[in-house]
Amino acid sequence: MQNKTNDLAKELAKDCRTVEDIQEKLKELFKDTIQQVFEAEIDEHLGYIKHDNSGDHSGNSRNGYSKKTMKTKFGKAELRIPRDRKGEYEPQIIKKYETTANGLEDQIIGLYSKGMSTRDIEDQMKDLYGIDVSAAMVSKVTDKIMPLIAEWQSRLLDRVYPIVFLDAIHFKVRKENRIVNKAAYSVLGINLSGHKEILGIWIGENESASFWLGVCNDLKNRGVQDILIVCKDNLSGFSEAIHSVFPQTDIQLCVIHQIRNSMKYVSYKEQKVVMADLKKVYQALTLEEAELEFSNFKEKWGKKHPIIIKSWEANWLELTAYFSYPAEIRRLIYTTNTIEGYHRQLRKVTKTKTAYPTD
């Protein structure tokens, strides 16, 4: 087998002086190989090989060829599709209405997943392979993955997730001839094996209890029966929704986000001192120690920064849920850094998009 491969490579290498020469040879090899597959397919369809007398009076026979131009990653290839008199033969390796080879479609989807626009992909295909692939055709290819996305979004989930993180990433989307901001709400779970898993992504314009109730019911309908801890930013309406669907779930509000929000009300000169006092609260070893340190913080800064005190008091139960867990778990759940890291990966491939045409 290796010798045959080497012989084929030597044959293809003859008269090749440039990369373009090699590409042209590969295009011819692709074309000839596909043609042989077509011939084998129609032999099987008719039940006899070409020029075989057993095909006489069989009721069906070959009826010439039709031409078809395929766009491949080697360039355009002119193919001859066999026909039978009854018009029953349909090629299997390349379907009747396909105009691109799978390898090219994979290339297009790969470029699209890297954040390239349809126009950029059109230019890339022209530069790399010398073939014209319109933006409309690129959209048609990428639309083929939509059923796979819908299947992924509705797949069955595990019964139990020890930890689930929630966060939003915002994008601009075209809607009724104008650009609007929409949030993609991601739900990332850590399963019983300790692996991260994106449970789903939901698009919404506004956070509300009804929106989050829909998300929680979706998770439940897909098999989730219990969640131990949910870690979130200050998402409006979520706490009410999660408690109505998963009443035993603990909610941990992201301490880092709470601190960032608090610092908005502190002058630059005071920020280091205020931060040092807040660290004594959220880095305490026990809940009792945290309560004592917050009491000291309140006494020291209450008159000057009443808004900070009011915010911490209003969210105290959700800000301190992590004190019920061991130190190793606390480091994981007191912040939403886990899901923010995932969103940073999304930004790498979406930062070139000025606006999405649809949700």
Give the pLDDT confidence of 183-200 residue by residue, as tens digits: 888 999 999 999 999 999
Does residue 124 lie in a domain region?
yes
How large is the average pLDDT for residues 163-171? 90
Residues 81 and 126 in one domain: no
Contact 294, 286 (CB under 8 A): no
pLDDT confidence tier of residue 99, bands split at 50, 70 and 90? low
Residues 86 and 143 in one domain: no
**Average per-residue pLDDT for the chain:** 82
Residues 230 and 342 in one domain: yes
Decide if pLDDT at 123 tops 80.
no
> What percent of the chain lies above the pLDDT cut of 70?
75
Residues 168 and 213 in one domain: yes
Residues 298 and 199 in one domain: yes
Looking at the 3D structure of the chain, how many domains does it have?
3
pLDDT digits (tens, 9 = 90+) for 292-334: 999 999 999 999 999 999 999 999 999 999 999 998 899 999 9
Global pTM reads: 0.67
How large is the average pLDDT for residues 251-264? 93
Domain housing 128? 103-154
pLDDT confidence tier of residue 96, bands split at 50, 70 and 90? low
Residues 195 and 287 in one domain: yes
Residues 179 and 38 in one domain: no
Residues 111 and 39 in one domain: no
Whole-angstrom distance, CA of residue 145 vs CA of residue 150: 9
Residues 149 and 162 in one domain: no
Angle between helices 306-314 and 287-301 (to 10 degrees): 160
Residues 282 and 333 in one domain: yes
Decide if pLDDT at 252 tops 70.
yes
Name the helix (H) or strand (E) containing 82: strand 75-84
Stretch among 42-56, 298-312, 329-343 having the lowest mean pLDDT:
42-56
